Chain A
Amino acid sequence: MDKDLPILDDCWNRTGVQGDHTCPSLKEHVHCRNCPTYSSAGRTLFERTPPKNWEDELSKALATSIAETQGDSIPMVIFRIGQEYFGLEATSLVEVASTRVVHGIPNRVGGLLEGIVNIRGELQLCVSLEKFLGIEKNQGDETQSREKMLVLEKSGQRWVTKVDEVFAVFRIVKKEISPTPATVKNSFSRFTKGIFEWNGKKAGHLDDTHFFEILEKSIS
């Protein structure tokens, strides 16, 4: 079925709002959804001719049990801090919020605890994942701020942390996660259960049970 898809030029992912915002049409249309290029691309998907034997193919696809297609996979939210990529099990993720003001706690300067932050009208604790994992960043690395706040929750405790970029939630097949090689010893090695490849990059699979426990202990 896939081979019959029309070839589309997904300019919205490259130069549009999902990309680097350099498309000239943006000046006129402000957002890709207002642009005729985008809407006509969408139309094409609607109005293409169905491939031969599409009923057979569809039934076969539906008949295949879910386990086979998805295999043993874990949904993970992929994000980036500095140059490091990480995957955290999506069950711990509550929401991704836009970056905002964090108010520091006096007498707790310079620690893991960054302060308190307002998420949906409630004050939550903000921690520095950067410091926790010991990642070094140079100032001015970020050309375009895609900073987001990750709101995480485990065993009833909520934590908010700032990350440099959040990609979507992806299903990572378990088999594809390999244990961290002994030679690689980062400051955060003790928190990663393994390494997997995503989008051509090596990402660390953060161990969320261990992780939250230690977080809690470090703060109190």
Chain B
Amino acid sequence: MSGSFDSNLLGLFKEEVAELTLSLNKGLVSLEQSPSPTLLDSLMRAAHSIKGASRAMGLLESEKVAHEMEEILVKAQKGTLTINQKTIDILLHSTDLISHIAKAFGENFDPWLASNKSEIEDTVKKLFICHSPENVPAAHLGFTNPNDMAVIASNTQDQASLIRSQKELSPVFASLFLQELQSLSSLLEKESSNPQPDKARIDSILKSIYGAGTLVEFTEFTQAIELIRGHAVSMKDSQGLIFFTKFLMELSNQQPEKVQSFFNSKKQELKGLFQSHPPTITNNSQETINPQSSAILNQRKTTLNLDNPAKNVSNREGQQETKDSVVRVTAQSLTRLMGLAGESLVEARWLAPFSQSLLKLKREEDRLLDQMNELAQNQSEKNIKIQRDLIFDIRDKLAKCILELNSRVQEFENHARRSDDLNSRLYNEVITSRMRPFGDGAQSFPRMIRDLARDMGKKVCLEIIGESTPVDRDVLEKLDAPLNHLLRNAVDHGIEIPEKRQISGKPETGTIRLEVRHNSGMLSIFVADDGNGISMELLKNKICQRKLSTPEMISRMSDGEILDFLFLPGFSTRETVTEISGRGVGLDVVHNMITSVGGSVRIINKPKEGTTFQLQLPLTLSVIRAVLVEIAGEPYAFPHNRIERLLKLSRNEIHFLENRQYFQLDGENIGLLMANQVFRASGVLSEGDLFIVLFRNSNNNPFGIVVDCFRGEQDLVVRTLDARLGKVPNISSAAILDDGSPVLIVDVDDISRSIERIIEEDRVEQTNQIESNGVSAKKKILIVDDSITVREVEKQLLQSRGYDVTVAVDGADGWNALRENAFDLVVTDIDMPRMNGLEFTRNIKQDNRLAKMPVIIVSHKDREEDRFKGLEAGANHYLTKSSFHDDSLILAIEKLIGKP
């Protein structure tokens, strides 16, 4: 059913189901390993909640599935049902199904539903049989897949322990069964006595008998039937079949209580019968029950995925991108926030009456002043007594005022202290609410490991230690893929198959330990398995094979260095590619992800004993410690961990080499640049000492940047810059300082690249030059021409005259340059790609900001009409290229903007 829903409601429903299925998955896997009544209870309630929510949304399908799951769990609670591996399988499968249904629910639900209807019905049936096999009407005998029956049979096998203990079939059903058996066996007799028995018909009759036996949970019987079916086809003579038919008829004539004993008595004979006729494999039977059923279930799972329009990759990732996405905060956190916010308000409200009281004080003092004035005026009077009284009065009043003022000051100080405390707490609480317990992100792991292990026929147990360790929201999200991969690797490459483990003396079940903790200010994560470890030999061979290194080099490398090769893209020691691994796209991605947030990965390998991956990550991406500096009068921040040193140098410590500045430190020559230069901000440098920030880029090359001054260190909450700004060069993000003013955080890697570029372009402004000018830098000219020769010639010409020259390769490039920087004059060609000179000029003249900029057109074209066009477009001057040989260009420039 897909009505039109309030998208809010739909979103909430999906969230709720996602959460519940996650806990179902987790709980079911735990249940398998260590059942407990509380666990059962919570699982039951989860299924119940899903049922209720589905009903509220009118989603019948998931309601049905959830209902059946609930029934199973309720019966398990009561003890009338035993949960075994098959039950867990089907419950897990149903959980997946509910998850798919919920994800698909919404706009295009109907087509999805149509294609998955049978799957859903099948699952519901299976679940029903699981908990109430006796209630299945006869019509349900016709299953789509006999292996389903095998599933049920094996399920009921364990359930039948209850029946077996009674040593007789429950009377009502037994008599029904026997009646049915009678009619079926007479059919069988008719058929088998036929000279040419119809094998298919026989088979279907046997199938029905089998079904009947299943329903009454007469397992030994059903097993026998199953074997017979196999035989029925191979029996060349119908002897065996006839014998068997007779047996069945006899059986059906027994009293219900006697059935079991009769069967037992005939068991030997039957055995003999089977042995003499080896079974043949028919299409549908004789497949071993255990792994196949789960394989079928898995197959079903994958077909379901194909039909499912909603992708399995969690929507969470997508959601977190949008502004209106939902985030989780613990209720406790919110309560604390509420409390702090309320208190903060109380403190704030205290201020108004306070200001009133100060006003009162002020009036007192005004009155006092008046009295003083009165006194001053009465100086001439001879009445000393009046004067003296007045003086005393004034003194007293003044003393009182001072006392009052003192108390006001004290009160205010207290307020300031309380206020500061409250607001800091408020702030910290909000920042902390960005953290989530690690367990939140590890929900899907136990299930994944379980399924993987089953697929590979291995036994693995996942231990998660430190589920409550707080991890930053963003970091947690980024961890999902790498951890997923490492865990899969551990199961695939690490843990050996049970037999092999036994031989090595290890417990059959392998353990993967996922441990998360805070360690010296960083988040440490360990993924450790007790498997085979990484074979160094295999690894070395692979390295040689890939020609990544030579055997001599390898022999000299440490184990750690050799293991590092695993992080190279495309590297894999698996020979064949499976769905799980061997594609070689895993570990390098892991490595990249971790290092991109400023973390590190390490491998600790013990051959035969196991492998451990150790990840170190920063605790939070949202708060950084920064060094504040001033550049061009505005505050900027450098991330603390990227700065090597802060220096103060006097001018005579700066040396020049090929027009570039550098200084020496500890024997290293470090290139120096003005921050103004790099940021292309304007600004004048003072005389005196230089303040330098020294940092290294990713290749460990040192750079020095001259800033105006240092401002101190601070913890800053990182904020992303507005998307409309695009990528701002040299800046990574922004923050807000204590006084409320914005600050830009420098991207150290970006800035190193910019510096390198500037050095190449030879645009270093020398510190001397700025000083000597006293005013800001020389006049800037923009040269736009698509011919490199022309550009160079013009540039040399103008630079030699002392102008500051920038070049652009065509109109569009020039336009960009104009928008980025301020120029005093533009010299442009006409014929250029992208935007020609005329258009360029026109744009300049029409732009509000640039309209006043003088434009000189220098072109090959020297006809009158071209000149006209140029001037019409708005150029101030039109010159031809021949004018380089005389001074006309220089003169024109000087006329327009003066000397450099």
A interface with B by C-beta (< 8 Å): 28-30, 34, 100-113, 115-118, 121-125, 131-132, 134, 157, 187, 216, 219-220
Contact = CB atoms under 8 A, between A and B. Distances in A.
A187 B719 CA distance: 36
Contacts of A157: 724
Interface of B: 359, 362-363, 366, 632, 634-635, 679-682, 719, 721-722, 724-726, 728-731, 734, 736, 740-744, 819-822, 848-849
B740 A106 contact: no
Given A106-B681, A106-B729, A219-B724, 6 more contacts: A101-B742, A103-B744, A105-B744, A116-B734, A118-B741, A132-B848
Nearest to B722: A125
A134 B349 CA distance: 44
Contacts of B744: 103, 105-106, 116
A122 B435 CA distance: 21
A123 B736 CA distance: 8
A105 B632 CA distance: 11
B681 A109 contact: yes
A106 B731 contact: yes
Given A121-B736, A187-B848, A103 B634 contact: yes
Contact of A110 (B634, B730, B743, B821): B821
B721 A104 contact: no
Contact of A125 (B725, B743, B819): B725
A131 B362 CA distance: 46
Nearest to A157: B724
Contacts of A111: 819-820, 849
24 contacts: A30-B359, A30-B362, A102-B742, A103-B635, A103-B734, A103-B741, A105-B728, A105-B744, A106-B680, A106-B681, A106-B730, A106-B731, A107-B679, A107-B680, A107-B729, A116-B721, A116-B722, A116-B742, A118-B741, A123-B734, A125-B725, A131-B849, A157-B724, A220-B724
A212 to B, nearest CB: 12
A133 to B, nearest CB: 8
A116 B731 CA distance: 13
B676 to A, nearest CB: 9
Contacts of B731: 105-106
Nearest to A216: B724
Nearest to A103: B742
B821 A109 contact: yes
B822 A109 contact: yes
Contacts of B366: 28
Contacts of A30: 359, 362
A103 B743 contact: yes
B849 A34 contact: no
B741 A104 contact: no
Given A30-B359, A34-B359, A110 B822 contact: yes
A95 B382 CA distance: 65
A105 B743 CA distance: 10
Contacts of B729: 106-107
Contacts of A34: 359
A23 to B, nearest CB: 16
B849 A106 contact: no
Given A109-B680, A157-B724, A134 B848 contact: yes
A123 B820 contact: no
Given A103-B635, A131-B848, A124 B722 contact: yes
Nearest to B355: A30
Contact of A118 (B632, B722, B742, B821): B742
B741 A106 contact: no
A108 B722 contact: no
A74 to B, nearest CB: 27
Contacts of A101: 740-742
A123 B680 contact: no
A216 B725 CA distance: 10
Contacts of B734: 103, 116, 123
Nearest to A135: B848
A104 B719 contact: no
A157 B848 CA distance: 23
A106 B742 contact: no
A117 B737 CA distance: 12
A100 B849 contact: no
B359 A106 contact: no
Closest 10 CB pairs of A and B: A106-B679, A103-B742, A134-B848, A101-B741, A110-B822, A116-B742, A107-B680, A118-B742, A125-B722, A107-B820
Contacts of B721: 116, 123
B742 A117 contact: yes
Nearest to B851: A134
Contact of A104 (B681, B722, B726, B736): B681
Contacts of B681: 104, 106, 109
Contacts of B679: 106-107
A127 to B, nearest CB: 10
B732 to A, nearest CB: 12
A105 B725 contact: yes
A105 B117 CA distance: 58
B128 to A, nearest CB: 50
A188 to B, nearest CB: 9
Contacts of A110: 821-822, 849
A134 B729 CA distance: 28
Given A34-B359, A125-B722, A118 B740 contact: yes
A220 B359 CA distance: 52
Contacts of B730: 106-107
Contacts of A107: 679-680, 728-730, 820-821
Contacts of B822: 109-110
Contacts of A219: 724-725
A38 to B, nearest CB: 14
Of A104, A113, A122, A157, chain B has the most CB atoms within 10 Å of the CB of A104
Nearest to B736: A118
A154 to B, nearest CB: 13
Nearest to B730: A106
Contact of B634 (A104, A118, A124): A104
B330 to A, nearest CB: 23
A113 B820 CA distance: 11
A110 to B, nearest CB: 4
Contacts of B849: 110-112, 131
A102 B740 CA distance: 11
A51 to B, nearest CB: 36
Contacts of B724: 125, 157, 216, 219-220
A108 B849 CA distance: 13
B110 to A, nearest CB: 33
Contacts of A113: 725
Nearest to A121: B736
A108 B742 CA distance: 16
A131 B744 CA distance: 24
Nearest to B848: A134
Nearest to B720: A123
Nearest to A187: B848
A106 B734 CA distance: 13
Contacts of A122: 719
A30 B361 CA distance: 13
A110 B359 CA distance: 47
B306 to A, nearest CB: 37
A187 B851 CA distance: 12
